[in-house]
Amino acid sequence: MGPPGRRRGRRVGSSTVTSEYVHHDDCVESRDWPALLARLGGSLPFAVVGGALYTSGAVSHRMSEHLAEVTRLDTASV
């Protein structure tokens, strides 16, 4: 529910969410920040590679469509 003596907030699922509870000093101190930041840092290369692959594929697809359209227009004008 939340720390005793604290005001209840909006219910989301089965947990109580308030700014006071989320930012409570005991909760912040108990978080394992180095592990969380290591996971975030470990996920960044995958995000960059995924973004690059998506962009490369999208550009390649658009260029293929453009080339096909130019070829079609060239053969239609001859």
**Cα distances (Å, whole numbers) of residue 16 to 23, 29, 40:** 13, 19, 26
Report pLDDT for 31.
78
pLDDT tens sequence across 11-64? 555 555 556 666 667 776 777 888 989 999 999 999 999 999 999 999 999 999
Its pTM stands at 0.55
Helices marked H in 5-32: 19-22, 25-30
Q: Which two tokens stand for residue 68?
A: 């096909």
